[in-house]
């Protein structure tokens, strides 16, 4: 059992180091020699664990995707088509937490699309389509029932996801000298308030204005 543990620890270290480099430099500009040097392992050790560099990249991306799934409670709420007031805050929490705490994932997804072409698209479709489709179906059902404004559900899904994931970066381009939010809870509330006011203006998940939260 000890060798397996050591092997697993070494693989984790390689994946962690490779993820940092792939996200920062891209796929083509990152060599396995550089990964080995920063991970403090031999290059041969990498190829004893992973078939090739591309296999390592997909392992990195798959590792970063872990946890990017709906909780059981949110799955049930979406399946029962609970009110947007109850469901949208949870969806936005998942998205804003990803943007705030897992920026490497977004960069790795971009690298996959830009540098690995169809394979990147296929991988992302496999990993993200179930989540995106569930959000789209939920919004479509609420549009049909009249709880959400009569909008194109596909465009609304794309806008909601992209706004939540890219908002910190775009905000910095607009006003980089001003802090965005004091903490993640404030970010969740701000996104929820915005989207509920936009698509279901009769609802309000949080009071206005948001009271500053202190530690």
CATH of the domain at 17: 1.10.10.60
Helix ranges (H only) for the chain are 2-25, 32-39, 43-49, 53-65, 72-79, 84-101, 103-115, 117-145, 153-175, 184-199
pLDDT at 150 over 90: yes
Domain end marker among 64, 87, 115: 64
Residue 77 in tokens: 């709420």
Are residue 38 and residue 84 in the same domain, yes or no?
Answer: no
The mean pLDDT value for 74-88 works out to 93
Tens-digit pLDDT profile for residues 123-145: 988 988 989 999 999 999 999 99
| For residue 121, pLDDT beyond 80 | yes
Do 129 and 188 fall into the same domain?
yes
- Domain co-membership, 56 together with 75: no
Residues 43 and 103 in one domain: no
pLDDT of residue 161: 92
Domain end point (choices 64, 82, 117): 64
Counted domains in the chain? 2
Range of the domain at 130: 68-199
pLDDT digits (tens, 9 = 90+) for 159-180: 999 988 887 777 777 776 666 6
Q: Are residues 93 and 150 in the same domain?
A: yes
Sign for the pseudo-dihedral over CA of 70, 166, 192, 157 = negative
pLDDT of the residue at 27? 97
pLDDT for 5 equals: 40
Same domain, 36 and 74: no
pTM over 0.85: no
């Amino acid at each position: 059992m000890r060798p397996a543990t050591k092997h697993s620890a070494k693989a984790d270290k390689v994946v962690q180091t490779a993820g940092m480099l792939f996200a920062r430099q891209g796929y083509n500009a990152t060599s396995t020699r550089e990964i080995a040097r920063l991970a403090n392992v031999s290059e041969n050790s990498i190829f004893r664990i992973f078939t090739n560099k591309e296999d390592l990249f997909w392992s990195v991306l798959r590792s970063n995707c872990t946890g990017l799934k709906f909780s059981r409670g949110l799955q049930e709420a979406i399946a029962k088509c609970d009110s947007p007031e109850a469901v949208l805050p949870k969806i936005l929490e998942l998205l804003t937490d990803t943007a705030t705490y897992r920026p490497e994932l977004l960069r790795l997804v971009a690298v996959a699309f830009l540098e690995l072409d169809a394979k990147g698209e296929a991988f992302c479709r496999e990993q993200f389509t179930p989540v995106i489709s569930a959000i789209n179906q939920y919004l479509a059902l609420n549009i049909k029932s009249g709880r959400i404004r009569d909008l194109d559900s596909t465009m609304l899904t794309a806008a909601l996801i992209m706004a939540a994931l890219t908002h910190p970066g775009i905000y910095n381009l607009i006003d980089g000298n001003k802090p965005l939010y004091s903490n993640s809870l404030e970010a969740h509330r701000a996104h929820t308030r915005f989207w509920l006011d936009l698509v279901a203006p009769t609802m309000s998940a949080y009071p206005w204005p948001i009271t500053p939260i202190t530690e």
